[in-house]
Chains A and B, each alone.
With several copies, the nearest count.
Chain A
Amino acid sequence: MALSKEQIAQRIARELKDGYYVNLGIGIPTLVANYIPEGVHVVLQSENGLLGMGPFPFEGEEDPDLINAGKQTITTVQGSSFFDSAMSFGMIRAGKVDLTVLGAMEVSEKGDIANWKIPGKMVKGMGGAMDLVASAKNIIVAMMHTNPKGESKLLPACHLPLTGVGCVKKVVTDLGVLAITEGGFKLLERAPGVSVQEIQSKTAGKLIVEGAVPEMVY
């Protein structure tokens, strides 16, 4: 069975290592914070100027001066710090953030990503996405394997305007976990009960399957 969005987030959370500084994008990536493994301590960066982002506030405790990059009210954890947007993107650019998780409309087998613009539709802007993908050392994309029309979002090359080139390291979809390798998407894990064949049929880009592909355990 294909993973739920929560399960995608849960799977990505297993990529977190103790001591990581992590930037989580809007959507599924935000949910990753709910599944940080026991014993793993990570610090969440919000690119509007915060290290040490905590959970959403309890009702009545929200502070309009304290939001995340998705403009949601948030809290801080102990040891947090605030800074301006230049320092925030400075630390991103300098590779100080260990892991970036973000959503995408399309990912290519070369690791290109498109997630900001659909020609003919109103463009809202790239926000910080282009900075993040251009600089992060380790980028994981969280997305559905196919779009609402059932078309693959894992492509030989992106059709949509690019956000970044050759930057994605791994893709976690509702169907599986795939690494971007020199030869294309290498299938690392399947969602429980999802066959390699199904993944193959929904992956337009080059898929590499080596040996038996393990099933995720939830």
Chain B
Amino acid sequence: MNKVVNNADDAVRDISDGAVLMLGGFGLCGIPENCIQALVKKGVKGLTCISNNAGVDDFGIGLMLKSRQVKKMISSYVGENAEFERQLLNGELEVELIPQGTLATRCMAAGYGMPAIFTPAGVGTEVAQGKEIRNFNGKDYLMEYAFDADFAIIKAWKGDTQGNLVFKATARNFNPLMAMAGKITIAEVEELLPAGALDPNEIHTPGIYVHRIFQGSAYEKRIEQLTIRKAHQ
């Protein structure tokens, strides 16, 4: 039951060209930095990436975009990325934009074995095009399908050797949802602990969802929008 692998290279060893990946994080917050670097190093191509955002030019998924590894992005917001824009406008990159709550719930649906969910997000907009609309109690909902991803690659704060995970603050975001949703789930953690070190009441992601885990290193944790107030405000 020991799910520990040596490092990011080992964790992503069998991700091959054309794979569908989920990548946790919101902006640059809570992203699997080590695995992204390992994927860039590995040079795997033609990836479909399901991730709320696409990183920035020189960090996060932006690094994979720069090295032309991404065929398609499925995201809710892809701003802040000039290289992304260039590839998209040149037709080198496909993008599917979906509402953030729909993105989150389609991950959850996969993790919960629910093939589809209903949400009102996007009713009456171009997001609804081609989708089944259904009325419940006088309100229209779109039927949206669970994601089907080969790998979920996520980042947690603490984890144990059995794959149990705990997230910190808003670095939680999509990570526990994607953890549930991947056929193979790879978790990198800031602190890897022996089984039993985490309080079973406080575990966010039970180990059953996690297939590989390792302690990451050299986390940059870049801040995208440093916003501060003056001491005398």
Direct touch of chains A and B (CB < 8 A): yes
Chain A residues packing against B (C-beta within 8 Å):
18-19, 21, 41-43, 45-52, 55-59, 61-74, 76, 78-97, 112, 122-131, 134-135, 161-166
| B62 at interface, CB cutoff 8 A | no
Contact: B78 with A135, CB < 8 Å?
no
Question: Would you mind naming 21 contact pairs between A and B with Cβ atoms under 8 Å apart?
Answer: A19-B1, A47-B101, A64-B171, A65-B168, A65-B169, A67-B27, A67-B29, A71-B29, A82-B169, A83-B206, A84-B204, A86-B177, A88-B104, A89-B100, A90-B114, A91-B180, A92-B101, A126-B97, A130-B121, A134-B122, A161-B126
Contact: B228 with A64, CB < 8 Å?
no
A129 to B41, CA, bound (A): 36
Q: Which A-chain residue is minimally distant from B195 (CB atoms)?
A: A79
A57 to B97, CA, bound (A): 32
A166 / chain B contacts, CB cutoff of 8 Å: 124
Q: Which A-chain residue is minimally distant from B106 (CB atoms)?
A: A86
A59 to B162, CA, bound (A): 29
Contact: A165 with B124, CB < 8 Å?
yes
B13-21, B64-72, B219-227 - interface stretch: B219-227
The secondary structure that dominates the A interface is loop
Q: Which B-chain residue is minimally distant from A84 (CB atoms)?
A: B176
Contact: A89 with B29, CB < 8 Å?
no
Contact: A128 with B172, CB < 8 Å?
no
List 20 extra interface pairs beyond A87-B206, A162-B124, CB under 8 A: A43-B208, A46-B170, A47-B101, A48-B26, A48-B173, A56-B229, A64-B171, A65-B30, A67-B170, A69-B26, A73-B226, A79-B164, A90-B105, A93-B113, A94-B112, A124-B78, A124-B79, A126-B127, A131-B100, A134-B122
Chain B residues packing against A (C-beta within 8 Å):
1, 26-30, 52, 75-79, 85, 88-89, 97, 99-105, 107-108, 110-114, 119-127, 157, 160-162, 164, 167-177, 180, 194-196, 198, 200-201, 203-204, 206-209, 221-231
A49 to B30, CA, bound (A): 12
Q: Which A-chain residue is minimally distant from B209 (CB atoms)?
A: A96
Contact: A127 with B77, CB < 8 Å?
yes
Partner of A78, one of B113, B114, B168, B196: B196
Partner of A67, one of B26, B76, B231: B26
A58 to B231, CA, bound (A): 6
A131 / chain B contacts, CB cutoff of 8 Å: 99-102, 119, 121
A34 to B101, CA, bound (A): 27
Known contacts A19-B1, A55-B229, A164-B125; A64/B113 CB under 8 A: no
Would you give the shortest CB distance from B95 to chain A, in whole angstroms?
8
Would you give the shortest CB distance from B182 to chain A, in whole angstroms?
11
Would you give the shortest CB distance from B23 to chain A, in whole angstroms?
13
Contact: B120 with A71, CB < 8 Å?
no
